């Protein structure tokens, strides 16, 4: 990944940050250059304040820790301290993932698990000595709740410290309520928003097309899904009668039911657990629908061998099932990445995909965030998700600008008879294209060639590219 390219939006953002006394949170689409923005912020802060600052970076994963370390070294930001800090170690330090480098280094990168218990104490110690500290919170939407909030324990004591504190929060999926709660008090208010539409208009990310492919259950899957739906409806009615709060609109229904399942009311808890178990079974039928595998096989055949493809599954079971299916046809051109593979195997898979040895990389949620995924032109979302952050992160894996111009293709598979959301992305506009397709499967799902995908309608003008799969 290159961090040297600069965009006009970054300069505008840094201007807003400086006006806000070098504090604030930024929301920018994945692939727009948030890391480069932060590196430029370090340089600008030191130039405009005239002092050397201690840089503390917080990240949610070990993979991101490594990416930040490489980025800082590549940009040659390592400089000597002045005054009483002249003798300290000036290399980049990392704390987390088994590394325990000195917290006295100019640049220290913390994985959140370590930062919870170390960062606040370290920052307070530096400020008490009159030093300037710049805190960069990457993927800051992770840090506003639960135990993660402990990294900001130093904030109430800032007014009593002689040193200067500066901050920058970065996220592709920052919600207003997140920024307005803990994050605004700790990192500063939201100062800049750089959306996908803006990035497309400015050429910061590549063009893309989203294909929404409607699937159908197999007859036996549909029968089981409808049976579970009837049972869920009956139990939901009983739950609402026993706990009337569940009838109100806008409440976190499943969250409340989960709490009831762990409560002291034995009968109500048992009923809530039954509901949750049935909901899980129904969701699994949707996620594991066999036509997802059949459709994906057809798509891979039609996409062609020259394009690299990332496939996002919803579970390790689904990932493994697809891997064994398609590896029969593509052999060692197929790799997989998930938590049960082991760190070394996952690193090898990414490296093989990066150097072109692999054409297809199959994963589940492990690639959603915090992993430096190599550029790919095609993405297939095997299962739908209602989590907007997950949607945005997956799209961001494809639209990052590379060395060559490309138009990314994202195929989103959903079961039309289920509760699964049709729309992969909530935004509609002229800046990108969304096309509706339908997958028609044969009775025998083991015969991929008997299936076809037909174009049903287009929400906007699309390339003259027909998807008549299985007709050759």
For the stretch 186-206, pLDDT in tens is 898 999 998 878 888 887 777
User: Could you give the residue ranges of the DSSP H alpha helices within 252-330?
Assistant: 253-261, 266-287, 290-303, 316-330
DSSP secondary structure letter of residue 373: P
Classify 361 as helix, strand or coil: strand
Angstrom CA distances, 182 to 145, 172, 192, 228, 383, stand at: 8, 17, 18, 40, 33
Per CATH, the number for 207-218+289-458 is 3.40.50.300
Taking the C-alpha atoms of residue 152 and residue 241, their distance in angstroms, rounded to an integer, is 43
DSSP secondary structure letter of residue 400: B
**Same fold for the domain at 8-202 and the one at 207-218+289-458?**
yes
Fold exhibited by the domain 8-202: Rossmann fold (3.40.50)
Taking the C-alpha atoms of residue 360 and residue 458, their distance in angstroms, rounded to an integer, is 27
Q: What b/e readout covers 366-390, taking b as 16+ CB neighbours within 10 angstroms?
A: bbbbbbebbbbbbbbbbbbbeeebb
Residue 226 binned pLDDT confidence (cut-offs 50, 70, 90) = very high
| Residue pLDDT, tens place only, 324-344 | 999 888 888 999 988 888 878
| Residue pLDDT, tens place only, 139-169 | 888 887 778 888 888 888 888 888 899 999 9
- Backbone φ/ψ region at 300: left (φ over 0), alpha (ψ -120 to 50), beta: alpha
Higher pLDDT, residue 227 or 461: 227
pLDDT at position 143 is 85
Sequence-ordered list of residues with C-beta below 8 angstroms from that of 208, at least 6 positions apart, any chain: 395, 398, 399, 407, 408, 409, 410, 432
| Residue pLDDT, tens place only, 373-397 | 666 788 888 866 545 556 666 666 6
- Express as a percent the part of the chain with pLDDT over 70: 78
Taking the C-alpha atoms of residue 75 and residue 242, their distance in angstroms, rounded to an integer, is 61
Within 13 Å of residue 37, how many CA atoms lie on the same side as its CB?
34
Sequence-ordered list of residues with C-beta below 8 angstroms from that of 44, at least 6 positions apart, any chain: 14, 18
CA gyration radius for the chain?
25
| Residue pLDDT, tens place only, 57-109 | 999 888 889 889 988 888 765 544 444 444 444 578 999 888 898 888 999 99
pLDDT at position 90 is 54
Inter-residue contact 53 to 216 (CB < 8 Å): no
pLDDT at position 460 is 27
Residue 46 binned pLDDT confidence (cut-offs 50, 70, 90) = very high
Indicate whether this model's pTM tops 0.75: no
Give the bridge partners for 28, in sequence order: 194
Taking the C-alpha atoms of residue 185 and residue 24, their distance in angstroms, rounded to an integer, is 10
Taking the C-alpha atoms of residue 366 and residue 357, their distance in angstroms, rounded to an integer, is 21
pLDDT at position 393 is 65
| Residue pLDDT, tens place only, 417-458 | 888 765 555 455 555 677 888 888 754 434 433 333 443 333
Inter-residue contact 245 to 251 (CB < 8 Å): yes
Inter-residue contact 144 to 60 (CB < 8 Å): no
SS3 content of the chain, % helix, strand, coil (to 5): 45, 20, 35
pLDDT at position 49 is 92
- β strands within 117-276, DSSP E: 132-138, 165-171, 190-194, 207-215
Length of the chain: 472
Q: What b/e readout covers 155-183, taking b as 16+ CB neighbours within 10 angstroms?
A: beeeeebebbbbbbbbbbbbbeebbeebb
Residue 412 has pLDDT above 80, yes or no: yes
Sequence-ordered list of residues with C-beta below 8 angstroms from that of 345, at least 6 positions apart, any chain: none
| Residue pLDDT, tens place only, 281-312 | 999 999 889 999 999 999 998 887 778 888 88
pLDDT at position 142 is 84
pLDDT at position 48 is 94
pLDDT at position 462 is 25
Sketch the domain layout of the chain as residue ranges: 8-202, 207-218+289-458, 219-287
Range with the lowest mean pLDDT among 41-45, 95-99, 228-232, 468-472? 468-472
Taking the C-alpha atoms of residue 52 and residue 163, their distance in angstroms, rounded to an integer, is 12
Nearest CA-CA partner of 426 in 380, 386, 378, 461: 386
Residue 468 has pLDDT above 50, yes or no: no
Question: φ and ψ at 451, to 5 degrees?
Answer: -100, 155
Number of H-type helices and E-type strands within the chain: 14, 16
For residues 246-273, give the mean pLDDT.
92
- Express as a percent the part of the chain with pLDDT over 90: 35
The average confidence (pLDDT) of the chain is 80
How many Å from the N-terminal Cα to the C-terminal Cα in the chain? 39
């Amino acid at each position: 990944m290159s961090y040297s390219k600069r965009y006009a939006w970054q300069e505008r953002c840094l201007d807003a940050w400086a006006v806000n006394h070098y504090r604030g949170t930024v929301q920018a689409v994945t692939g727009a250059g948030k890391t480069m923005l932060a590196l430029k912020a370090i340089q600008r802060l030191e130039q405009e304040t005239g002092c050397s600052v201690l840089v503390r970076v917080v990240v949610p994963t070990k993979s991101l820790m490594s990416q930040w370390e490489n980025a800082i070294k590549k940009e040659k930001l390592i400089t000597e301290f002045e005054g009483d800090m002249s003798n300290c170690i000036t290399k980049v330090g990392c704390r987390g993932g088994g590394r325990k480098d000195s917290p006295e280094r100019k640049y220290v990168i913390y994985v959140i698990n370590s930062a919870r218990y170390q960062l606040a104490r370290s920052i307070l110690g530096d400020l008490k000595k009159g030093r300037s500290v710049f805190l960069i919170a990457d993927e800051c939407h992770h840090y506003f709740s639960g135990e993660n909030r402990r990294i900001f324990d130093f904030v109430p004591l800032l007014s009593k410290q002689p040193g200067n504190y500066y901050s920058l929060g970065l996220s592709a999926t920052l919600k207003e309520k997140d920024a307005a709660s803990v994050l605004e008090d700790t990192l500063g208010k939201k100062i800049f928003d750089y959306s996908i539409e803006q990035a497309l208009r400015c050429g910061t990310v590549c063009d893309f097309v989203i294909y929404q492919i409607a699937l159908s259950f197999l007859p036996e899957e549909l029968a089981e899904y409808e049976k579970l739906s009837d049972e869920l409806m009956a139990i939901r009615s009983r739950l609402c009668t026993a706990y009337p709060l569940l009838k109100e609109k806008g409440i976190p229904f499943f969250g409340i039911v989960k709490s009831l399942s762990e409560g002291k009311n034995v009968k109500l808890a048992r009923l809530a657990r039954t509901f949750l178990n049935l909901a899980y079974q129904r969701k699994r039928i949707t996620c594991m629908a066999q036509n997802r595998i059949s459709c994906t096989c057809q798509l891979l055949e039609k996409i062609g061998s020259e394009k690299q493809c990332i496939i996002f599954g919803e579970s390790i079971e689904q990932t493994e099932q697809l891997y064994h299916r398609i590896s029969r046809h593509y052999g060692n051109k197929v790799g997989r990445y998930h938590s049960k593979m082991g760190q070394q195997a996952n690193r090898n898979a990414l490296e093989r995909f990066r150097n072109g040895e692999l054409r297809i990389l199959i994963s589940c949620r492990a690639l959603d965030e915090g992993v430096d995924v190599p550029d790919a032109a095609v993405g297939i979302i095997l299962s739908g998700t209602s989590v907007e952050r997950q949607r945005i992160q997956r799209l961001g894996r494809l639209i990052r600008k590379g060395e060559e111009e490309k138009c990314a293709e994202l195929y989103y598979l959903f079961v039309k008879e289920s509760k699964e959301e049709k729309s992969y992305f909530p935004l509609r506009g002229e800046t990108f294209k969304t096309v509706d397709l339908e997958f028609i499967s044969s009775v025998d799902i083991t015969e991929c060639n008997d299936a076809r995908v037909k174009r049903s309608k287009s929400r906007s003008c699309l390339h003259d590219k027909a998807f008549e799969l299985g007709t050759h």
